Amino acid sequence: MTRIDIALGERSYPVLVGHGLMNEPSAWNRWLPDTPLVVFSNEKVAPLYLDALARVLPDHELHPLVLPDGEAEKSFDNFRRAVDFLAERGIRRDACLLALGGGVIGDLCGFVAATWMRGIRFVQFPTTLLAQVDASVGGKTAINIPQGKNLVGAFHQPSLVVADTATLDTLDPREYRAGLAEIVKCGAIRDADFLDGIEARCEALLARDVECVVDVVGRSVAHKAAVVAEDEHETGVRATLNFGHTFGHAIEALSGYTRFLHGEAVAIGMVTATRLSELRGLCPTGVADRLSATLQRLGLPVSIPDDMTADDLMSLMSLDKKNTASSRRLVLLRDAGQAVIHADSRPEQVREAIEASRTPTE
């Protein structure tokens, strides 16, 4: 087991990474309060792991709330359903919420925890690769609205994250590949050597080699931990973790959160952002092609569909949370492993990058 501490003073917490951790409660149950646990999960994950969690926590009072699966479920309707559930069961401030699922469940559960009685504890048990390396760590919680993704939310840190990589054994192959995009992102923005290692281990990653997966999850979390400790509320360097997300979120929203998984949209967004970096002369030519080749080896899409217009994408990008009243801020690359935040990309440059990232015509 690997332990990575998120150093935030009185809000610090551990992230535990290992294979089979759910069945080793002695490694993590000391961080759980001796109070009721409201377990948020979804219709895909609950049948796989809810009973197992109950078996290893026989002394805890569990209240399961099972929601539909899918990005579209991170909504005001399900937020209301969740708070009604808490109210009907008399859940008080000393209770704890537990997110058992992927990023959608973690974000929704965390937002409910941030707002219920002005903030209660919650813990993360991420069961998808994307959630283990990214969404469960750092305290970002949110729900979506039609105008954009994650526009309604709060910073609310969990008190514990348990990333059991054994849960990835049951993960749908497409969902698993989508999570690999966030691992590639870590190398692309901060660690060129890590990116080299990912390129060398594509086959092992796709085969879900236990040792390889535990290593890359732990290293990805360590990178994010360092960034979050430096900039918890995303006023500076933490924004670099959104590399590919400005384009990616617009792609998701334009398709109604049904056409691409989050990691797939981020993969396309990273390539597009790197093409913009090259067009602006910030980044050496060839980095975008290298990133594209790596993502394709991992089974991820890298091109913007022809039916998504530049006008529509740029309109949605204007609501990105990194923007200010006077500038459009984008995370770009100086080189592999070197991200930078730029606020002076002209609309015609962004449009050119979008068109350069189109699906090639056969």
Query: Are 111 and 190 in a shared domain?
Result: no
**Is residue 362 annotated as a catalytic residue, yes or no?**
no
Percent of the chain scored above 90 by pLDDT? 90
User: Does the annotation mark 346 as catalytic?
Assistant: no
Give the active site residue among 149, 238, 321, 329.
238
Q: Which letter does DSSP use for residue 360 in this model?
A: P
pLDDT at 321: 56
Range with the poorest average pLDDT among 4-8, 87-91, 155-159, 316-320: 316-320
Render pLDDT for 178-236 as a digit per residue (tens, 0 to 9).
999 999 999 999 999 999 999 999 999 999 999 999 999 999 999 999 999 999 999 89
Pick from 264, 232, 265, 248: which is nearest to 320 by CA? 248
177, 190, 224, 328: the catalytic one is: 224
Question: Cα 301 vs. chain centroid, distance in angstroms?
Answer: 17
- Exactly one of 185, 190, 242, 321 is catalytic; name it: 242
**Which residues neighbour 184 within 8 Å (Cβ) at sequence distance 6 or greater?**
195, 198, 267, 270, 291, 294, 295, 298
pLDDT at 111: 98
Instruction: Assess whether 321 carries a catalytic annotation.
Output: no
Residues 216 and 258 reside in one and the same domain: yes
From the candidates 19, 177, 185, 249, give the one annotated as an active-site residue.
249
Task: Quote the mean pLDDT of the chain.
Answer: 94
Q: Where are the alpha helices (DSSP H) in 57-172?
A: 76-88, 103-115, 129-130
Q: Is 61 a catalytic residue?
A: no
pLDDT in tens, 75-85: 999 999 999 99
Together in a domain, 160 and 285: no
Query: Can you give the pLDDT at residue 90?
Result: 96
Q: What is the average pLDDT across 123-147?
A: 95
Establish whether 174 is a catalytic residue. no
3-state SS of the chain: helix, strand, coil percent to 5? 50, 20, 30
C-alpha distances in Å from residue 26, one per residue of 29, 31, 295: 6, 10, 38
Q: Which two tokens stand for residue 276?
A: 């913009």
| Mean pLDDT in residue range 248-256 | 92
The model's confidence at residue 147, banded by pLDDT at 50, 70 and 90, is confident
Could you tell me if residue 26 is inside a domain? yes
Residues 115 and 26 in one domain: yes
Residue 122: strand pairing partners: 97
Paired tokens of 62: 């569990």
* Same domain for 202 and 165: no
Q: Would you place residue 318 in the very low, low, confident or very high pLDDT band (cuts 50, 70, 90)? A: confident
Domain final residue, candidates 170, 196, 212: 170
The answer to whether residue 281 is domain-embedded is yes
pLDDT at residue 322, rounded to an integer: 60
Question: 37 has which bridge partners?
Answer: 62, 96
CA atoms of 330 and 328, how far apart (whole Å): 7
Q: 344 pLDDT exceeds 90? A: no
> Maximum distance among all alpha carbons in the chain?
61
Three-class SS of residue 337?
coil
Whether 342 is catalytic is no
Q: Are residues 220 and 135 in the same domain?
A: no
Tokens at residue 165, please? Answer: 């990589």
- The C-alpha atoms of residue 217 and residue 3 are separated, in whole angstroms, by 11
Q: Which of 98, 151, 161 is nearest to 131 (CA)?
A: 161
Whether 18 and 96 share a structural domain: yes
Residue 361 maps to a domain: no
Q: How many degrees, rounded to 5, is the angle at CA 197 between CA 194 and CA 201?
A: 140
Per the residue annotation, which of 71, 73, 175, 234 is the catalytic one? 234
The residue from 156, 219, 223, 262 that is catalytic is 262
**Which residue among the candidates 223, 245, 275, 280 is catalytic per the annotation?**
245
Identify the domain boundary among 128, 145, 170: 170
Confidence of residue 28 (pLDDT cuts 50, 70, 90): very high
CB 104 within 8 A of CB 79: no
* Per-residue burial over 193-202, b = 16 or more CB atoms within 10 Å of its CB, e = otherwise: ebbeebbebb
Has 234 been annotated as catalytic?
yes
For residue 37, what are the domain limits?
2-170
Active site residue 182: yes
Whether residues 150 and 163 fall in one domain: yes
Strands (E), the chain: 2-6, 13-18, 37-42, 62-67, 96-101, 121-126, 140-145, 148-155, 161-164, 330-335, 338-342
Integer angstrom CA distances of residue 245 from 58, 180, 332, 359? 40, 15, 11, 19
Give the position of tokens 């360097």.
237
What is the percent of the chain with per-residue pLDDT over 70, rounded to a whole number?
Answer: 97
pLDDT at 326: 44
Q: Are 46 and 64 in contact (CB under 8 A)?
A: yes
Q: Considering 170, 201, 235, which residue would you say is the last residue of a domain?
A: 170
H-state helical runs in 255-318: 262-279, 287-297, 310-317
Is residue 362 situated within a structural domain?
A: no
Q: Is 150 a catalytic residue?
A: no
Calpha distance 271→353 (Å, rounded): 9
pLDDT at position 130 over 90: yes
Mean pLDDT of the region 45-70 = 96
Active site residue 238: yes
Three-state secondary-structure class, residue 15: strand
pLDDT band at 327 (very low <50, low <70, confident <90, very high): low
**Contact present, 143 and 156 (Cβ < 8 Å):** no
Domains: count for the chain: 2
Q: Looking at the structure, tell me whether residues 151 and 29 fall in a common domain.
A: yes
Find the CATH number of the domain harbouring 31.
3.40.50.1970
pLDDT score for 360: 59
Q: Are residues 178 and 149 part of one domain?
A: no
d(CA 135, CA 104): 9
Tell me what pLDDT residue 40 has.
98
